[in-house]
Amino acid sequence: MRFLVYFTCALGLILGATAGVQAAPAAAAQQAPATPKPTGYTIFLRGTQVGREDLTVREDATGTTITAQGRLNAPLNVITRRAEVKYSPDGSPERFVLEGSANGSDVSVRTSFANGTAQTEGNQGTNKIATSHPVSPQAVVLPNGIFSLYAALADRLSRVTAGAELKAYILPLGEIGVKVVSDQPERIQVGTTFLNVQRYDLLFSNPGGDLAVSLTAGDGGRLIRLVVPAQAIEVVREDVASPTARTQVSSNPGDEAVTIPAVGFNIGATITKPAFAKGSGGAGPASATLMPAVILVSGSDVGDRDGFNASLPTFAQLAGTMAQAGFVAVRYDKRGFGQSGGRPESATIQDYAEDVRAVVRWLLQRKDIDPKRIALVGHSEGAWVALLAAARERRISAVASIAGPSTTGAELILEQQRYSLDQMKITPQQREQKIALQKQIHNAVVTGKGWEGVPQNDRRTADTPWFHSLLTYDPAKVLKDVRQPLLFVHGALDKQVPVAHADRLADIARKESDSKSVDVIVVRGVNHLLVPAITGDVSEYNSLTDRNVSKDVSGAVSAWLTKTFAAIR
């Protein structure tokens, strides 16, 4: 669960990129080059479209020229009339030009690269810009806030492998390192067409701490998608940004893509069936043996059905394990993501619970599903969604909460903030100021008053229906209406939602709920992502070598469901 903590700026942009796109062979210069067609990219902030950029790449014997133009709406407020980078044939930067505006002020920048130095001059409104930095040969140029220029970085990455380190020049701040943590093939489905792509997990070594970035490239190193999780920014090529597109991160034998009707939109989903199951089960005579079903419910930082997080398709793996244990597993894209409709910017935890109920209703209509054996398995915030859905829907037979929080959302965010602050080198006074600001934001979100002194970007980020629903969610109140058997599973090394939450949830359930069965399982050596870890801290996620959900976790859930459903039958 990646709860948003606003003691740092939500949009400290260190984005945009260019790098060595190779020039065409010299022979091509003898022919008049065709006018290149721009490629459009859609830009999302926290799932909401905030802008668009068009990218053009021109190649000739003198090198490569990459040009972008576009507009970013509030809260970014950027107009790019022309952003252009020129590279020599060997990939060395020669010049950068930017003409546009930011927050209503005109911006004009010129950067030249020569003799190992980047010289920048220009202005933003009445403020003059004049900087000079050493720059490495063939460094990747990253101008702030011009996202589609990552197209050149995509090209550079197509010629390196995991473990490689690049140099990047952040305009106009200085040079940093970029490490390729991992690269792996994926497939993206657009309608009925599949694209074979490569996804790269990167670490930008910023002065304020490493920044994780995910970049997906297609054939020839063409930019498909750019994701900056910490800033909730996603840049997607137009065709891949359509509602018919989804990334096929992982698949299992028995997977079947389905569409589930919800209230006002459809949910894109995948069901994974046991090996013995045959047929779709959607129509026709009832199967000789009705099968139990499990609905997987994801947390706040995951939108796609495969539960992809830190290079790990958690839900795709769990679905495969559940199918092997004899359950039909359903995983789905959250509203507004992948192939699911709906508007994520206005969605609350209560809305997500209603989406779960829509999946339950769909399963109840199938001829191969036992209506008395439908369970929910929720991870992190998804555990809260699952509990709320179970409180509202009696036809849900059991709930397994994995890494679920036991406090209110407001209390949990403060707990996570204090842990993060403990890792920072700041004074006690600075620490208390950040905590005070966080509490002020919480109070303002809930009451609608007291925004004075809160940075505008922080207010835009926090003042949303989802964050309000998160702050006010109280599992103790929800559990009062839960009657189903309950399982609380937790990794002992979980640092995002510490393991003590599992016992507290179980205590609350035994005292407050009407459930007749409450079990707790703590899995040693496992972190919040449900994989084996060393410390469990978020900082080690990208360096973990075991990228598989612990069998102790999946086995505990499937064994408990088997036992629980046997009692129901």
Measured in whole angstroms, the distance separating CA 479 from the mean position of its chain's CA atoms is 28
Instruction: Please name which of 121, 57, 116 lies closest in space to residue 92, comparing C-alpha atoms.
Output: 116
Hunting for tokens 């109280």 — which residue is that? Answer: 474
Do residues 279 and 303 both lie within one domain?
yes
Residue 568 confidence class, pLDDT cut points 50, 70, 90: confident
The answer to whether the bond into 75 is cis (omega within 30° of 0) is yes
| Predicted local distance difference test score (pLDDT) of residue 405 | 97
d(CA 564, CA 558): 10
Question: What residues contact 298, with CB distance under 8 A and at least 6 apart?
Answer: 307, 315, 331, 334, 378, 379, 380, 382
Strands 209-217 and 223-228: antiparallel
Whether the predicted pLDDT of 251 surpasses 50: yes
Q: Side chain identity at 524, as an amino acid letter? A: R
Question: What residues contact 97, with CB distance under 8 A and at least 6 apart?
Answer: 82, 83, 84, 109, 110, 111
Say if CB 87 and CB 93 are below 8 A apart. yes
Do residues 226 and 263 both lie within one domain?
no
Host H or E run for residue 251 = none
Of all residues in the chain, what percent carry a pLDDT higher than 90?
58
Do residues 432 and 391 both lie within one domain?
no
Tell which of 242, 262, 278 closes a domain: 242
Q: Is residue 129 part of a domain?
A: yes
Higher pLDDT, 69 or 339: 69
Do residues 358 and 453 both lie within one domain?
no
Higher pLDDT, 16 or 151: 151
- For every residue of 471-504, DSSP letters joined together read HH--HHHHHTT--S-EEEEEETT-TTTTTHHHHH
Whether the predicted pLDDT of 280 surpasses 70: no
Q: Is residue 67 part of a domain?
A: yes
Q: What is the pLDDT of residues 154-205, one digit of tens each?
A: 999 999 988 999 998 988 788 999 999 988 888 777 765 778 889 999 999 8
Number of alpha carbons in the 13 Å side-chain half-sphere of residue 25:
2
Q: What is the pLDDT of residues 522-555, one digit of tens each?
A: 999 999 999 999 999 988 887 888 889 999 999 9
| Predicted local distance difference test score (pLDDT) of residue 228 | 86
User: SS3 of 420, please?
Assistant: helix
Do residues 331 and 375 both lie within one domain?
yes
d(CA 113, CA 116): 7
Residue 467 confidence class, pLDDT cut points 50, 70, 90: very high
Averaged pLDDT for residues 409-416:
95
Using alpha carbons only, what angle is made at residue 290 by residues 285 and 292, rounded to the nearest 5 degrees? 140
| Predicted local distance difference test score (pLDDT) of residue 27 | 39
d(CA 556, CA 521): 8
Q: Is residue 7 part of a domain?
A: no
Whether the predicted pLDDT of 380 surpasses 50: yes
| Predicted local distance difference test score (pLDDT) of residue 402 | 97
Instruction: Please name which of 108, 109, 81 lies closest in space to residue 95, comparing C-alpha atoms.
Output: 109
Do residues 444 and 361 both lie within one domain?
no
Range with the largest mean pLDDT of 4-18, 240-254, 337-351: 337-351
Say if CB 198 and CB 158 are below 8 A apart. yes
| Predicted local distance difference test score (pLDDT) of residue 14 | 33
| Predicted local distance difference test score (pLDDT) of residue 205 | 87
Say if CB 438 and CB 7 are below 8 A apart. yes
Q: Is residue 310 part of a domain?
A: yes
Host H or E run for residue 505 = helix 500-512
| Predicted local distance difference test score (pLDDT) of residue 369 | 96
Say if CB 321 and CB 558 are below 8 A apart. yes
Averaged pLDDT for residues 207-234:
85
Structural domain of 431: 410-465
| Predicted local distance difference test score (pLDDT) of residue 21 | 34
Residue 410 confidence class, pLDDT cut points 50, 70, 90: very high
Measured in whole angstroms, the distance separating CA 297 from the mean position of its chain's CA atoms is 15
Q: What is the pLDDT of residues 471-522, one digit of tens each?
A: 999 999 999 999 999 999 999 999 999 999 999 999 999 999 999 999 999 9
Do residues 229 and 269 both lie within one domain?
no
Q: Side chain identity at 131, as an amino acid letter? A: T
Work out the number of other CB atoms within 10 angstroms of the CB of residue 34: 6
Residue 33 confidence class, pLDDT cut points 50, 70, 90: low
Hunting for tokens 């959900």 — which residue is that? Answer: 549
| Predicted local distance difference test score (pLDDT) of residue 83 | 94
Do residues 61 and 161 both lie within one domain?
yes
For 168, the token pair is 């990047």
Hunting for tokens 């003590």 — which residue is that? Answer: 500
Question: What residues contact 169, with CB distance under 8 A and at least 6 apart?
Answer: 93, 118, 133, 135, 136, 139, 140, 141, 142, 175
Strands 48-60 and 63-72: antiparallel
Q: Could you tell me where the DSSP H helices lie in 302-408? A: 314-324, 349-364, 381-392
The total of structural domains in the chain comes to 3
Whether the predicted pLDDT of 74 surpasses 80: no
Hunting for tokens 């390192």 — which residue is that? Answer: 177
| Predicted local distance difference test score (pLDDT) of residue 24 | 34
| Predicted local distance difference test score (pLDDT) of residue 567 | 83
Tell which of 210, 226, 242 closes a domain: 242
Number of alpha helices (DSSP H) and beta strands (DSSP E) in the chain:
11, 26
| Predicted local distance difference test score (pLDDT) of residue 245 | 56
Whether the predicted pLDDT of 138 surpasses 70: yes
Say if CB 471 and CB 442 are below 8 A apart. yes
Residue 283 confidence class, pLDDT cut points 50, 70, 90: very low
Q: Is residue 422 part of a domain?
A: yes
| Predicted local distance difference test score (pLDDT) of residue 192 | 59
Averaged pLDDT for residues 454-482:
93
Whether the predicted pLDDT of 8 surpasses 80: no
Q: Is residue 1 part of a domain?
A: no
Do residues 363 and 265 both lie within one domain?
yes
Looking up residue 387, the CATH number of its domain turns out to be: 3.40.50.1820
Residue 445 confidence class, pLDDT cut points 50, 70, 90: very high
- For every residue of 290-328, DSSP letters joined together read PEEEEEEE--TT--STT-EETTEEHHHHHHHHHHHTT-E
Q: Is the dihedral of CA 479, 483, 484, 489 positive or negative?
A: positive
Alpha carbon distances (Å) from 538 to 170, 210, 215, 262, 533: 25, 12, 20, 34, 10
| Predicted local distance difference test score (pLDDT) of residue 102 | 86
For 140, the token pair is 């990747």
Say if CB 544 and CB 532 are below 8 A apart. yes
| Predicted local distance difference test score (pLDDT) of residue 544 | 84
Do residues 33 and 70 both lie within one domain?
yes
Do residues 275 and 296 both lie within one domain?
yes
* Mean confidence (pLDDT) of the chain: 86
β-bridge partners, 374: 293
Q: Is residue 9 part of a domain?
A: no
Averaged pLDDT for residues 323-352:
90
Phi then psi for residue 502, to 5 deg, are -65, -50
Task: Classify residue 541 by its DSSP letter.
Answer: G
d(CA 234, CA 49): 9
Q: Is residue 17 part of a domain?
A: no
d(CA 100, CA 134): 26
Say if CB 110 and CB 121 are below 8 A apart. yes
For the chain, the C-alpha Rg in angstroms (whole number) is: 25
Do residues 87 and 210 both lie within one domain?
yes
Instruction: Please name which of 119, 76, 121 lies closest in space to residue 98, comparing C-alpha atoms.
Output: 121
| Predicted local distance difference test score (pLDDT) of residue 275 | 86
Tell which of 242, 259, 281 closes a domain: 242
| Predicted local distance difference test score (pLDDT) of residue 13 | 35
